[in-house]
């Protein structure tokens, strides 16, 4: 087991990464306020991993309540969130009860937002079971639900007290979801860690084959990158925005197609290609750099072309994004491989051209 | 105009109290991030005060969007909250747009919660137009909506950037709502300010007659008490709980009768009598003290008896309250007039007896 620390003062918390962690109740117990938890999971993950976690916690004397949600981004809505509140109130959970999110990014985002709001805030633990959640969404305290007009529009910054990333849960992850997680792993290489990018280019097939040692390394290095960024800029006033490489374009794809058509990581990959193409048009990246990114996504079995929604529709959807300031689109672009920056000066016509060039 | 400061470090903010403040756009302008606001009001307050506020802001160059909600505690629900989000997204409000809550406690609670959640947090200004909101709910950052199983169960601690209490808006306040506000004013005297309690006993008829000077003094002193408590304990780990005198009993009345039957302040008055009665039974208050409280509430035209829901129903409703810890009811009781403390040791039978004694 490896342990990282997210340095956020009195809200600092550990990230444990390793094998067999779901059965180690003592790791959870150490972070509980009272021996009482409410587990939020979904109908796919629950049948696989809830039994073991629950048994371990109950054997350690913890009182456990559970709610299982339908699986998928399409359910990241207020209606589903209300099912969590109904359970918490019906089971008389208190402000000191700890909410445990067991599942992927959607479960973590909704569980975390429910924890942020229930009685104005209850303690919260993330147990991510997908690669995407382990390397990205479970770390850093971003929680949210979607609105029909925009992804992650309603939410809170709310830090967990613990992140428990059990690599063993990746054994049951569908190939498509593994690939989606790799999109966020590759992101860290692109925005701030060119050595990691080189390692990924050398090791991608080991990751696709789920080599535990390679997964462990990629997760640990991704979380370390994320923890550093979050510690420096918790509420995204500056550097943290760089983590959104490909996300503004990607959110337009997700919202435009309807939530759940593309996986988040898939939309991020296609969106990153748009950001790379725009960076090339601005003279920041060479054509060979764009090819390198594309080759890596292709090996990861990720889409490198966006759906043909039309540039006007992309721009309209992007205008709802949280990265809009004073009416201008603020986009994360690449100055070089391993170096990102926020750019708010690109002409709409230039952005539209980059989108068109990367749709097929 | 008088100005108090809520000392919360980098989230400190001013409370301006005075006459004619709605027309003074410069007070609002000084606290905006960008010249763009989204006003949340309701169908009662809007027709009276929205026009003046809007004109003043627009004349100062501020872009104004508006949503008006139905009036009343019964609408403090997710459905109504969603109407705020719909407006914010349809009007393309940004993370830097400032939400302005113009109205009473319900508008402030919902507007504040919407601001806390929209894009994970947008700036927020309170312009309370009821006595209750001016002396209590607009100050201190508690925001929430109700759940069918409990009042204020879903919410956030989220501080405004400014509170603007314009005494002139009290001229149109119905008598019943003025009385409800007095319940919270009297609360400050009971829990921590016996000099203020004595002043209230001497001045209650002036307040009922809406003497501006008396109102100004009562609001300023109430806000000062509240600001001190909030600065010392923002998220209610300790002293702040004392502000809930009468509230756990009162929430049971509100939820038990259905939201909107009794006004919040009315339920707090009857609930405070139950807390006083229990304090007497524990030997802390003399019978004469209880009589003094009752006499003051009666002069304020507030109810001093709870509805006959039955003690068992009261206790069941109170068990959902946020003031439950490790299964025990933590109640705010009075050690003396002007001195409150949290007590978690009262036997359920004793609590039930106090409730029965104060229902009619």
**pLDDT tens digits, residue range B330-360?**
999 999 999 999 999 999 999 999 999 999 9
Residues at the binding site of A are 71-76, 105-109, 129-130, 142, 151, 169-172, 184, 247, 264
DSSP code at position A239:
G
> Domain segments of chain A: what residues?
2-172, 175-357
ipTM greater than 0.90, yes or no?
Answer: yes
Judging contacts by C-beta atoms under 8 Å, the chain B residues touching residue A34 are 326
Check: CB of residue A245 under 8 Å from CB of residue A60.
Answer: no
Residue B264: active-site member = yes
CATH of domain B2-172: 3.40.50.1970
Structure token pair of residue A290: 């764009």
Three-state secondary-structure class, residue B35:
coil
**Per annotation, catalytic residue among A187, A221, A244, A280:** A244
How many Cβ atoms sit within 10 Å of the Cβ of residue A58?
A: 13
pLDDT cut 70: percent of chain B above it:
99
- What is the pairing mode between strands A124-128 and A162-166? parallel
How many Cβ atoms sit within 10 Å of the Cβ of residue B171?
A: 9
Angle at A72 between CA A71 and CA A73, to 5 degrees: 150
Taking Cα atoms as reference points, which of B237, B196, B249 lies closest to residue B219? B196
**Per annotation, catalytic residue among B161, B192, B247, B330:** B247
CATH class of residue range A175-357: mainly alpha
Q: Per-residue pLDDT for B324 more than 90?
A: no
Distance (Å, whole) CA B200 – CA A17: 61
Residue A184: active-site member = yes
Give the least confident one: A271-275, A343-347, B270-274. Answer: A343-347
Structure token pair of residue A153: 């529009």
Check: CB of residue A297 under 8 Å from CB of residue A272.
Answer: yes
Per-residue pLDDT tens over the stretch A193-228: 999 999 999 999 999 999 999 999 999 999 999 999
Distance (Å, whole) CA A70 – CA A50: 15
> Residue B319 and residue A92: Cβ atoms within 8 Å?
yes
> Residue A82 and residue B78: Cβ atoms within 8 Å?
yes
Give the least confident one: A246-260, B170-184, B196-210. Answer: A246-260
Helix axes A264-281, A175-192, angle to 10 degrees: 30
Structure token pair of residue A343: 């750019």
Judging contacts by C-beta atoms under 8 Å, the chain A residues touching residue B119 are 153, 155, 322
Residue A292: active-site member = no
How high is the mean pLDDT of chain A? Answer: 95
pLDDT score recorded for residue B45 = 97
Give the containing element (helix H, strand E) for B99.
Answer: strand B98-103
Per-residue pLDDT tens over the stretch A219-237: 999 999 999 999 999 999 8
Residues of A at the B interface (Cβ-Cβ below 8 Å)?
34, 78, 82, 85-86, 89-90, 92, 94-96, 116-121, 142, 144, 147, 149-150, 153-157, 235, 319-320, 322, 324-326
Q: What region, left, alpha or beta, does residue B124 occupy, with left being phi > 0 and alpha being psi -120 to 50 degrees? A: beta
> Residue B120 and residue A156: Cβ atoms within 8 Å?
yes
Helix axes A78-90, A105-117, angle to 10 degrees: 60
Distance from CA of B6 to the nearest CA of A (A): 20
Give the least confident one: A156-160, A269-273, A295-299, A314-318. Answer: A314-318
Per-residue pLDDT tens over the stretch A139-152: 999 999 999 888 89
> Residue B155 and residue A92: Cβ atoms within 8 Å?
no
Distance from CA of A213 to the nearest CA of B (A): 36
Check: CB of residue A246 under 8 Å from CB of residue A308.
Answer: no
pLDDT cut 90: percent of chain B above it:
93
Query: What residues contact B22, with CB distance under 8 A and at least 6 apart?
Result: B49, B52, B53, B56, B127, B164, B166, B168, B169
The length of chain B is 360
Three-state secondary-structure class, residue B199:
helix
Residue A240: active-site member = yes
Distance (Å, whole) CA A49 – CA A100: 13
Alpha-carbon Rg for chain A in angstroms:
20
How many Cβ atoms sit within 10 Å of the Cβ of residue B79?
A: 9
Per-residue pLDDT tens over the stretch B56-92: 999 999 999 999 999 999 999 999 999 999 999 999 9
Distance (Å, whole) CA B120 – CA B98: 13
Q: What is the residue-wise DSSP string for B106-172? A: HHHHHHHHHHHHBTT---EEEEE-SHHIIIIITSS-EEEEEETTEEEEEEEE---SEEEEEGGGGGG
Residues at the binding site of A for Zn(2+) are 184, 247, 264
Structure token pair of residue A35: 């021996």
Same fold, A2-172 and A175-357: no
CATH class of residue range B181-357: mainly alpha
Nearest to B156 among A89, A92, A117 (CB): A117
Residue of B nearest to A87 (CA): B149
Distance from CA of A144 to the nearest CA of B (A): 8
Distance (Å, whole) CA B137 – CA B303: 20
Residue A308: active-site member = no
pLDDT score recorded for residue A287 = 97
- What is the pairing mode between strands B328-329 and B331-336? unpaired
Give the containing element (helix H, strand E) for B202.
Answer: helix B194-208
């Amino acid at each position: 087991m490896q342990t990282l620390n997210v340095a956020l003062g009195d809200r600092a918390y550990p990230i444990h990464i390793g094998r067999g962690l779901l059965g180690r109740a003592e790791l959870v117990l150490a972070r509980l306020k009272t021996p009482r938890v409410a587990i939020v999971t979904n109908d796919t993950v629950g049948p696989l991993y809830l039994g073991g976690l629950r048994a371990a916690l109950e054997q350690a004397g913890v009182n456990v309540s559970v709610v299982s949600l339908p699986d998928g981004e399409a359910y990241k809505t207020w209606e589903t969130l209300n099912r969590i509140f109904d359970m918490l109130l019906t089971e008389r959970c208190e402000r000191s009860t700890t909410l445990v999110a067991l599942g992927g990014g959607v479960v973590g985002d909704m569980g975390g937002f429910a924890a942020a709001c229930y009685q104005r805030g209850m303690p919260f633990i993330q147990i991510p079971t997908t690669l995407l959640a382990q390397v990205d969404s479970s770390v850093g305290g971003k929680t949210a639900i979607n609105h029909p007009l925009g992804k992650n529009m309603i939410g809170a910054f709310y830090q967990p007290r613990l992140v428990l990333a059990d690599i063993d849960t990746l054994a049951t992850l569908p190939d498509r979801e593994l690939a989606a997680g790799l999109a966020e792993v590759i992101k860290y290489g692109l925005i701030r860690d060119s050595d990691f990018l080189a390692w990924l280019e050398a090791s991608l097939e080991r990751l696709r084959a789920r080599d535990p040692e390679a997964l462990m390394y990629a997760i640990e290095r991704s979380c370390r990158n994320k923890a550093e960024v979050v510690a420096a800029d918790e509420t995204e006033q500056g550097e943290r925005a760089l983590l959104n490489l490909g996300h503004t374009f990607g959110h337009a794809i997700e919202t435009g197609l309807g939530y759940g058509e593309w996986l988040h990581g898939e939309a991020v990959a296609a969106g990153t290609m748009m950001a790379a193409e725009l960076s090339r048009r601005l003279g920041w990246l060479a054509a060979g750099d764009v090819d390198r990114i594309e080759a890596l996504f292709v090996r990861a079995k990720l889409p490198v072309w966006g759906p043909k929604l039309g540039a006007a529709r992309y721009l309209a959807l992007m205008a709802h994004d949280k990265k809009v300031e004073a009416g201008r689109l603020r986009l994360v672009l690449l100055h070089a491989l391993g170096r990102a920056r926020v750019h708010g000066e690109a002409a709409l016509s230039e952005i539209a051209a980059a989108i068109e060039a990367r749709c097929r």
